[in-house]
Each structure stands twice: as structure tokens, then as C-alpha cells.
Amino acid sequence: MTPASNTALRLNRTICMHICQAQYRLLIQHAIEFRIILDVAIKENPDIFPPEISFGYKMKDTRVSKKLNLKIRRIVIAGISYTIRTSFAMPYITGFIKDVEKPLFLRKFAVPFWALSHCFGKNPMYWYRLEANIGRYSLVGTTIKSPEKLPQHLSADEKHTRLLGQKTYIATTAGSNCILGTNISKTASSKDLQEAYGIFKKEAECINPGYQPDTVNTDGWASTQKAWKNLYPQITVLSCFLHIFIGIRDRSRKKYKKSFLDVSTRLWIASRQNPKEHSHREFAGFLNGVKIRKMKFRTSFQPKSRSSGRIFHSFPKPMIFLAHIERATWLIG
């Protein structure tokens, strides 16, 4: 028997196409009419098909799913067979969307599987497997199909929650206004967070093996920043402007309350500037002149090297010298 470590993983060869159920049952019977609908889908949504689809494809055969008595058609692209799955059926043809949508929604409120079985039929293990199957899919691979669309600027944070009564953290990665990774971390240590955030890296490298993001925006938690630096040594770690502002606000509640308005105003103005249009000295001028503890705000805002992990002057607004601004919060705390 071939060792499991030497066996090749079978790639996903299923293409999910949006089509209404009534129309599908009519078109699936006729290859020519089904090809017309398929050609329209290729033109409107090329990302859901393999790149080789541009060279053409051939109709292969049809199969009938025993689970749902649903006919499924296969096509051949560059010598490889792909199954066309409709969007109104669950993956692996385990059920129709309209039948499982409400039971799976109730799982958000921890409704037990035996209760779902009592109200919606099937057996408890059916609902358990249906829920577990959702976690099999790559968030990055499902959302992004082309390597050039992988975002170069990311945001990362941990959601504090509980799992079976134990406090845990959901390491979440986002980019281009879309969630691209979520995984559970048992602790907030850099080791566990690196493992949790590493899922995003593995999924992104399946699309582009040489993927290297430019920046990641974090809330300033040292373990989070260390985890990302370990995953991507060349990445630039940004500090969240909101958390920097909150840090300054918390340090100026009592003794330095009078200085807070002046400092916060200058900080806000600095954050709204475009770093490509101003020099480092001009940025420092936005914050210069704030007298706190008989000292003036420091003006040494020279950008560090890319390998240092600090913010670089060429990144988009409003991420301007946030890491350097964060250093100065000790002046009012």
C-alpha cells in the first residue's frame, strides 16, 4: 500500500454554476441548450472556471446523484474532467439549499443536532456532517481565483470568544473589503496565532506560491505582529490608527486632559495627509509644538528599512507614520 505521505492530493474539479432549479432540470436533458447556458456563464464569470477554458471545452457525460435524484453533467477542459454543480444544491450533493438553510441558521444559536433532526427530519449525524463540511473549503480559494487579485495590503485581528466554556481567539484576516481567513487560536501567544494565521498563508500560496503581501494592519498586539513577521519576514507591520488614538486618549484623561485636544487634532491632521506629497519633516511639523512635561513633540520621523517591520512612507493613507506616532504616546502617559 502506498504511504499516505506519498499520495498526491486530488484537486477540486467541481465548478459551481448559478442557475435556477426549474431551468436546470429542463436544460440538463439537452447538451446543446446546456452548452449555450454554459457559454454565457463563462463569459460573465470567467473566474469560476479554470484558465484553460479560454481554449475551449467538450461535453462529456451525465450522471445521476442517488442522494437527490439530480442529474449532473461533466465537461472536459484541457483533458481534465470537471463536474458542473448547480448553486441550488449543497456541495457533494448532500441536500438542496432551500431545505438546509434554516436548520444551519439555527446552529448559530447552538441548537443541538438531535433537535434539528426532530424538527426537520434526517438523523443527527446528517446535520453534524453538513455543518462540518462547510469548513473544508478554502476561504481564499473560494473568494479569489486569479493570483493578481490577491490583496497586497491586509488587516488582521483576533475576535475574543469562548469555545466549550474556554476562552479562545478567532484569528481573522481581511483584505480588499473581504474576509479571507478565520481560524481558532487557543491562546493569544505568538506561536498559536502564527499557526492560526498560517491557514491564510497556505490557502493564498495555493493560488500564488510566491505570494508576498506588502503590509498588514494590526491593533498593536505584540504577539500578532510577531506572528505575521514570522509568516512573512519581509512584510511591513502597521499599527491601527484607532488604537493609537485610543492609547493617547486613555493616557490623557486626567493630568494631561488639556493637552489632549491639541494632540488629537494634530494627530488627525497628520493621518489624513498623503505621504507621497509631503516630506518626513513636513509630517513631523503637524505634530511639532505640543508642550507636554516641558518637552516638545519629537520630530525624528525617518522611515526605517523594510525589514524592520515598521511603516514605510510610500503606503496608502491613512496609514501614515502610525508606528512612529505610536512611539510618542509616552510623552502624555
> What per-residue confidence (pLDDT) applies to 288?
54
- Are 192 and 124 in contact by the 8 Å Cβ rule? The answer is no
Across 57-82, average pLDDT: 90
The one-character DSSP state at 137 is S
Amino acid type, 107:
R
| pLDDT exceeds cutoff 90 at 126 | yes
Domain covering 140-232 in this structure, CATH number: 3.30.420.10
pLDDT at residue 76 is higher than 80: yes
pTM: 0.62
pLDDT range class, residue 99, cuts 50, 70, 90: very high
A 10 A CB-CB count for 62 gives 14
Mean pLDDT of 127-135: 86
Taking residues 151-166, report their average pLDDT.
Answer: 88
| Whole-number Å distance between alpha carbons of 298 and 292 | 11
User: SS3 breakdown of the chain: % helix, strand, coil, rounded to 5?
Assistant: 45, 20, 35
Q: What is the pLDDT of residues 267-326, one digit of tens each?
A: 777 767 665 555 455 555 555 554 444 333 333 333 444 444 443 333 333 333 333 333
Query: How far apart, in whole angstroms, are the C-alpha atoms of residue 263 and residue 267?
Result: 6
Residue bearing the bigger pLDDT, 110 or 135? 110
Nearest to 271 by CA among 230, 324, 197, 228: 324
Q: Is the peptide bond before 103 cis (omega within 30 degrees of 0)?
A: no
Residues 23-43 have a mean pLDDT of 89
Grid coordinates 497586497 are at which residue?
152
Instruction: Kindly report the average pLDDT of the chain as a whole number.
Output: 77
DSSP at 288: T
Dist CA 306 CA 126 (whole Å): 51
pLDDT for the residue numbered 280 = 53
pLDDT digits (tens, 9 = 90+) for 213-264: 999 988 878 899 999 999 999 998 888 777 777 777 777 777 777 777 777 7
List of residues 6+ apart from 233 with CB closer than 8 A: 307
pLDDT digits (tens, 9 = 90+) for 298-313: 333 334 444 444 433 3
Residue 106 in this model has a pLDDT that exceeds 90:
yes
For 272, the 3-state DSSP assignment is: coil
Residue 6 pLDDT greater than 50, yes or no: no
Region 29-40: what's the mean pLDDT? Answer: 89
Where along the chain do its domains lie? 4-91, 96-134, 140-232, 240-332
If pLDDT is split at 50, 70 and 90, which confidence band does 165 have? Answer: confident
Q: What residue spans of 45-178 are helical by DSSP H?
A: 97-106, 113-120, 124-134, 139-143
